[in-house]
Chains A and B, each alone.
Chain A
Amino acid sequence: MTIHSLCIRGLKKSFAAPRAESVRAVDGVDLDVRPGECFGLLGPNGAGKTTTIEICEGLTEADSGTVEIFGLNWLTSADALRQRIGVQLQETQFPDKITVEEVLRLFRSFYRRGLALDAAIRIAQLEEKRRARVGGLSGGQKQRLAMATALVGDPELLFLDEPTTGLDPQARRHLWDLVEDLKRGGRTIILTTHYMEEAERLCDRVAIMDHGKVIALGTPKELIATVGGEDIVEFAVSATGVNPEVLKQIPGVSSHRVDNSLHQLSVSELHTTVPKIFAALREQGLHLSEFRTHSASLEDVFVHLTGRNLRDE
């Protein structure tokens, strides 16, 4: 049996909340991450992703449950583990008046072995900003610097907590390229995100979290397949009185739900199914006011499982 890079069993953590019962941030999570894979924790804000990852990073103590990294635990091997993992927190602000190079030289000095300064700067694509102060960097550059501080120790396991939150689309794609390079380099990566396209693009496997629990686990493809079709059809009609049973009986339609008078069908064989949907609606004497389709995504998986949208939170 190979040793998992990360192995979590029965993890629980509650936080005291003012004037209320304590909040169960993590409520019984089991996970295994294999060496060399990029594993994503996907979920809305407040789902418990950050708490889970911070327990794994040794920053927060769990109320109960166990975390093992490379078969070691935080109680007995904290120093050894910190040498072997790289951490990017959700919101670290380095001092404005220190330069990129100085930050990296500082962090490099914490590790017994690791990347040369030049290599770390090159990986983060900050060569031109090498002598620039942190205060003068863009959001994307700051995030890449944070990534570089996580990489200087040449970690076997890399934790990235919401690496692209708050970045503009271009900076986000830039960071995705960076993570893909790291994956190709064979590093094990665990990242949290509430962007489903990020999880779909970067992660080999994804755990979807909600209210402190893992509600789905698998490759993005497997998860999307659970929705029942490769595509999603969304439409609205000018009147009420859609009969969902009629729609569900159309071959190729596997489920139906209504959200804010927007009907959603999960559909396979889009090219043959859509004409049948049109026909069915016409027979009921209904006029379409909106109609669109998209490929099923992890977003639809989340909606399918919880009845809520990821981005609503």
Chain B
Amino acid sequence: MSKLETSSLYQLTVTRLTLTLREPEAIFWIFVFPIILAVGLGIAFRNRPADVLPVAATTPQLTQALAADKGLRASQFDEAAGRHALSVGAILLLAEQSPTGVTYRYDNTNPDARTARMLADRAIQIAAGRSDPIATQNDLVHETGSRYIDFVIPGLLGMNLMGSAMWGLGFSIVDARQKKLLKRMVASPMPRWQFLMAYLLSRLVVLAIEIVVLLGFARVVFGVPFRGSIVELLFIAVLTSVTFSALGLLVATRARTMEAVSGLMNLVMMPMWILSGVFFSASRFPAILQPVIQALPLTAAISAMRGNMLQGLPITHMMPLIAILLFWLVVPFAVSMRIFRWK
């Protein structure tokens, strides 16, 4: 047997990893779910190109004038058909030729219709020979890094790291306890710390895949920026995962049943899903809650990842966040080791 094969830490880690990868549900929740979520959110909150507004006119001249504006799509109707199209929402505005000039028929409570009114009037006036006294130019801004998808990807990554670390550890520990596997393990000469360490090590492997899948997808499909150091981002992600593993361990230290551990798990994670700024900025919550919210590990993790990815902050500028994560790593781990129930 090779040296590696006889190392108990290696064998425990390999076993843990094998078990994770043979669980189809785990694969779905860890790798597929965040991508589906990112795609869904990306579609829902995509920055749409400026809309082309449908309008109509009653004469060919007017229609031609309207069609000259890129922001408008013009069609020609007679008055009755035009009013019908307006009433069913097929067009936003109908320009009618009247003996004294042009009448715009539109709903002024609809912002799009008001925009159409301005564009249509400008197009018709220009076609009639108006010239603007001041020359103007447009400089369009579509900055990556300020879109919603850029904001939400670090949030999703944080949420995913929290979920997979906590479920991964909590469930399998309680399962092993329930099936007396823990008891069997401690009846062997296996060093106990290695059993828990194997969980963390196998987490790191899964974590590497998780990060590459989600961030790679975000990069390729949405062009989400990585402004900070990649090495530092990986460090933050690893720290986040290990921190939540320690929390998962704490949640699972005493629980004897799946029901108990599920309840505890939700109790711990639910507030962070809501408060920690996964989908919208945590600063929207009242000031009185902020000290609590900022002290949560998920808030710190997501803030650090956003700082790195979106603002390009070096880790030295985010030491308070790192300190919060370290606190949530050290304290739960130390407590768990003291009160862990092996039987």
Contacts from A to B (Cβ < 8 Å): 57-59, 79, 82-83, 87, 89-95, 97-98, 102, 105-112, 117, 149, 153
CB distance A89 to B184 under 8 Å?
yes
CB distance A110 to B189 under 8 Å?
yes
Partner of B11, one of A83, A87, A90, A109: A109
Chain A residue contacts of B176, Cβ below 8 A: 95
Give the A-B pair count, Cβ closer than 8 A.
72
* Distance (whole angstroms) from the CB of A48 to the closest CB of chain B: 17
A90 and chain B: residue at smallest CB distance: B180
**How extensive is the interface on chain B, given as a class?**
20 to 34
Interface of chain B: mostly helix, strand, loop or mixed: helix
In order of increasing CB-CB distance, the 8 nearest A-B pairs are A93-B179, A82-B189, A109-B11, A87-B187, A97-B22, A109-B8, A92-B184, A110-B190
Within the assembled complex, what's the spacing in Å between the Cα atoms of A109 and B194?
12
A57 and chain B: residue at smallest CB distance: B187
Partner of A98, one of B8, B15, B179, B190: B15
CB distance B189 to A109 under 8 Å?
no
Within the assembled complex, what's the spacing in Å between the Cα atoms of A109 and B7?
6
* Distance (whole angstroms) from the CB of A15 to the closest CB of chain B: 13
Within the assembled complex, what's the spacing in Å between the Cα atoms of A57 and B187?
7
CB distance A87 to B180 under 8 Å?
no
The answer to whether A95 and B187 touch (CB under 8 A), given A105-B11, A109-B5, is no
Q: Does B84 contact A (CB under 8 A)?
A: no
Chain A residue contacts of B184, Cβ below 8 A: 87, 89, 92, 149
CB distance A95 to B180 under 8 Å?
no
List 20 A-B pairs, Cβ < 8 Å: A57-B187, A58-B187, A59-B186, A59-B187, A82-B189, A87-B184, A87-B187, A92-B179, A92-B181, A93-B180, A94-B181, A95-B176, A95-B179, A105-B11, A106-B12, A109-B8, A109-B12, A110-B190, A117-B1, A153-B188
The answer to whether A107 and B181 touch (CB under 8 A), given A97-B23, A102-B15, A102-B18, is no
Chain B residue contacts of A149, Cβ below 8 A: 184, 188
Within the assembled complex, what's the spacing in Å between the Cα atoms of A59 and B189?
12
B4 and chain A: residue at smallest CB distance: A109
Contacts from B to A (Cβ < 8 Å): 1, 5-8, 10-12, 15, 18-19, 22-23, 175-176, 179-181, 183-184, 186-190, 343
Chain A residue contacts of B189, Cβ below 8 A: 79, 82-83, 110-112, 153
CB distance B187 to A89 under 8 Å?
yes
CB distance A59 to B188 under 8 Å?
no
* Distance (whole angstroms) from the CB of A244 to the closest CB of chain B: 48
* Distance (whole angstroms) from the CB of A211 to the closest CB of chain B: 24
Chain A residue contacts of B1, Cβ below 8 A: 117
CB distance A82 to B187 under 8 Å?
yes
9 extra A-B contacts, CB within 8 A, seeds A79-B189, A87-B187, A90-B180 = A58-B187, A59-B183, A83-B189, A91-B180, A93-B179, A98-B18, A98-B22, A109-B10, A149-B188
Chain B residue contacts of A117, Cβ below 8 A: 1
Within the assembled complex, what's the spacing in Å between the Cα atoms of A58 and B23?
33
The answer to whether A59 and B7 touch (CB under 8 A), given A83-B189, A89-B187, A106-B12, is no
